[in-house]
Amino acid sequence: MSAVPARLATAPADVVPIVEAQRPSEPEGDLLARARAFAEPLIGNELTKAGESVLDHADAVVVILAGIGGSEALKAAAYLSYASEQLNKPEEVIARRFGESNARLAVETARLERVQQRARGTQPLPRGGVEPAEQQTEIVRKMLLAFSRDLRVVLLRLASRLQTLRWYAAQRKTLPPGLLRESAEVFAPLANRLGIWQIKWEMEDLIFRAQEPDTYKRVASLLDEKRVEREAALEQRRAEIESGLCGQGIAAQVTGRPKHIYSIVKKMRGKNLDFDQVLDVRALRVLVDSVEDCYTALSWVHRQFTPMPDEFDDYIAKPKLNGYQSLHTVVRDGDGKPWEIQIRTHAMHEHAEHGVAAHWAYKEAGTKGYVGVTAASDYDAKIAVLRQLLAWERDLADAAPAQGLFDDHIYVLTPQAAIVELPSGATPVDFAYSVHTDLGHRCRGARVDGAMVPLNTVLVNGQTIEIVAAKEGGPSRDWLNADLHFLASSRARTKVRAWFNAQQTHETVARGRELVEKLLQREGKTATALDHLAVELGFKTPDALFETVGKDELSLRSIETVLRPPQPQPDADEQVRLRVTRPEPGARGGVLVVGIDSLLTQPARCCKPAPPDDIVGYVTRGRGVSVHRADCSSLRELAAREPERVIEVDWSEAARRQGHAYPVDVAVEATDRQGLLRDISDVFAREHMNVIGVQTQSTRGVAWMTFTVEVSDSTRLAQVLLAVREVPGVRVARRK
């Protein structure tokens, strides 16, 4: 493959040329030489998807990294990352030859490039109100930063993308739309925000040339028309200022500051200027030794030329937020032509050129009024941290890998290469719920990069996830157990809890429906419209009525009252007169009804009495005597409405002696955890109490349980409840 030309064919002489891509003439050290020798047999005959030689591409990336002061390890990674794609176990093989740190850097860089290649051109998952292309750009940008556990990964990808743009320009090939959009909206802004000026300006010019070739050529032609005249004036003014400052005892280095085509066009459009009005086409930079010399030089320049008051900025006295320092002024010469002059120390210039101070606040923060992008977001705050750490990039080469700055999220792929954003620590179950709630409910297994893994496997950036789902079914309660680490996303946990709550509600509604329908059958009212009955009782829907009945929050007596028309009250002498008689030893159900022989009795469902509870009877219509505990709230309501139906009852001696079993309800409230139901059931089993029914419900980590147990003596139940309260996590255990 031929080398990239030293400059664009249409670029004028004073537009900084595109640096020629070349193989480094001499390796800087043993690591770089060994890395290239290791990679060459693996990638020497390989081509990129565009058709560029992979080895030539890596050579050019090394040159770019050298231009921004990249460390030897960083440049070596340019070769190792491409070589890793040809290895079965790249991290293991590279670690043996070059160490674990270099292996991780190479593999991480290769993984990021592979993920971006797969994601480019695919449509992201739908998100309301956001265009797919815009959404994809934002996700790719975040994904690029999410991979920056070691900041050198970002630098490698920026250098690689710049070389790709150079190659397309040299070959005069059209940039693919996805790659062009990604370069313009992700890579160039990132280089700009990181302040990597050398990469930023060239990348912007190459992108602009691909986006608007006619405009690019026209501006280049305008610059070229007066190139000789402008170069002569620039050299004359440069020498004049440099000699003048030396005459003042200031050791100054004055250079022409080239202007780039994209920057010229952006300023023309942003400020609605003609080409001749762009002030800093003629621009000089003055480098001096000290801050004092900066202000002395400024004073001399303002004495020799006419300053423009509205075009002066002192970024030394008041540095930009990113640390950038320099004096900016615009003056007019004797012919009235404007000159922009920047004055700074050598240290300030090094800081600005190599990226930490950055041009980005001047260009993007909107202070000049032609971009309007602020840096107040949390995202930009993280970028600001990156800029500061970039100054230490060379130190990172010999130190332990830096901790990731974006550990709060990861980015993984669907089998169709759509990108999914997840919280750090997410599992395949989190992924399934992120794609679709129903997929999460039916999730039964997962493949990560083609291999089956447990559902509580922690995912990492760039993996491809495929969910194995059942045709129907629901989630496991184990997923809500924090100790098992199935879910890291609060959104997914909420969906799982909602499913179990819906199931509990469904069961409660079914129980209530059964009770109401049986009541309608007993009353001979099966033709009653359920919608009408619900409205009569104050409910919007029948299901709302059934749910309330199923929770035992509405007595069936209330429904009977609605079903039966009002009946006139009998006269006093027609009311039931109770006679005190001797109790019958064989009374039914173990309950003696005082004054009535052989009357049917049944325990009330609302309070489930058991010996030796104090009990009271209530004469029902057609179902004998309902026996309540004396402290039953439902009994109090019934007695208030129809006190004449309340009668005296008591437990028979046979019931007390023979140990009849009576069902009672026990309510338990506890912190939800795995094995809670088993532990409580074990207590009842040890105490020889038969559990005949259990209802459970869990919300926000709290479990509510109702156990129906058979007892012959309710006083013994109090002792068992003390044992239940000793179970870890149990807050309340009481008889209902």
Structure confidence by residue, pLDDT tens digits, 621-644: 767 788 888 888 888 888 888 888
User: For position 647, what pLDDT does the model report?
Assistant: 87
Neighbours of 320 (CB within 10 A): 18
Cα–Cα distance measured from residue 623 to residue 352, given in angstroms and rounded to the nearest whole number: 93
Taking only the tens place, the pLDDT of each residue in 347-380 is 888 776 655 333 333 333 333 322 223 333 443 4
pLDDT at residue 504, rounded to an integer:
84
Specify whether the backbone of 696 is left (phi greater than 0), alpha (psi in -120 to 50) or beta: beta
CB 27 within 8 A of CB 78: no
Q: What is the pLDDT of residue 186?
A: 79
Q: What is the pLDDT of residue 150?
A: 59
User: Residue for token digits 């009795």?
Assistant: 601
pLDDT of residue 454: 93
Strand ranges in 486-637 using DSSP code E only, listed in sequence order: 591-593, 601-603, 615-619, 625-629
pLDDT of residue 314: 92
Q: Could you read off the pLDDT of 468-485 as tens digits, one per residue? A: 999 888 899 899 888 888
pLDDT given for residue 540 in this prediction = 83
- Contact partners, residue 731, CB within 8 Å, separation at least 6: 669, 670, 671
CA-to-CA dists, residue 214 to 211, 220, 222, 258, 705, angstroms: 9, 10, 12, 21, 75
Q: What percent of the chain has pLDDT over 90?
A: 15
Q: Mean per-residue pLDDT for 677-685?
A: 85
Domain topology for 226-375: Beta Polymerase; domain 2 (3.30.460)
Question: Pick the residue with more confidence: 606 or 53?
Answer: 53
Provide φ and ψ at 390, rounded to 5°. -60, -30
What mean pLDDT is predicted for residues 423-449? Answer: 91
Q: Residue 262: pLDDT above 70? A: yes
pLDDT of residue 534: 81
Give how far Cα 290 sits from Cα of 61, 246, 661, Å.
Answer: 35, 14, 98
Between 384 and 95, the higher pLDDT residue: 95
Q: What is the CATH number of domain 409-488?
A: 3.10.20.30
Give the whole-number percent of the chain exceeding pLDDT 70.
Answer: 74
Is residue 247 classed exposed, middle or buried when 0-12, 13-18 and 19+ CB atoms within 10 A define those classes?
exposed
Q: Where does the pLDDT of residue 585 fall: very low under 50, low under 70, confident under 90, or very high at 90 and above?
A: very low
Virtual torsion, Cα 139, 46, 165, 393, nearest 10 deg: 70
Provide the pLDDT for residue 295: 94
Work out the angle at residue 120's Cα, subtended by the Cα atoms of residues 117 and 121, and round it to the nearest 5 degrees. 140
Beta pairing partners, 445: 468
Q: How many helices and strands, by DSSP H and E, does the chain display?
A: 28, 21
In degrees, rounded to 5, the angle at the alpha carbon of residue 433 between the alpha carbons of residues 429 and 438 is 115
Task: Output phi, psi for 603, to 5 deg.
Answer: -70, 140
Separation CA 500–CA 320 (nearest Å): 54
Is residue 198 pLDDT above 60, yes or no? yes
- Residue, of 521 and 245, whose pLDDT is higher: 245
pLDDT at position 457? 93
Angle at 239 between CA 237 and CA 245, to 5 degrees: 100
- Predicted local distance difference test score (pLDDT) of residue 384: 42
Residue 572 binned pLDDT confidence (cut-offs 50, 70, 90): very low
Mean pLDDT of 446-452: 89
User: pLDDT value at position 290?
Assistant: 93
Which pLDDT score is estimated for 1?
Answer: 33
Predicted confidence band of residue 147 (pLDDT cuts 50, 70, 90) = low
Nearest to 256 by CA among 244, 238, 236: 238
Position 673 scores a pLDDT of 85
Instruction: Check pLDDT > 70 for residue 701.
Output: yes
The pLDDT assigned to 185 comes to: 79
pLDDT digits (tens, 9 = 90+) for 273-301: 676 665 446 788 999 999 999 999 999 99
CA 293, 295, 296, 298 torsion-angle sign: positive
For domain 1-206, give the CATH superfamily.
Hypothetical protein af1432 (1.10.3210.10)
State the burial class of residue 286 (Cβ atoms within 10 Å of its Cβ: 0-12, 13-18, 19+): buried
Check pLDDT > 80 for residue 581. Answer: no
Q: Taking 50 as the threshold, does the pLDDT of residue 32 lie above it?
A: yes
Mean pLDDT of 607-626: 83
Dihedral Cα 425, 427, 429, 431, nearest 10 deg: 80
Least confident of 184-188, 253-257, 377-381, 658-662: 377-381
**pLDDT the model gives residue 467:** 93
Q: What is the pLDDT of residues 309-326, one digit of tens each?
A: 888 999 998 887 556 789
Is the CB of residue 604 less than 8 Å from the CB of residue 665?
A: no
CATH number of 662-735: 3.30.70.260
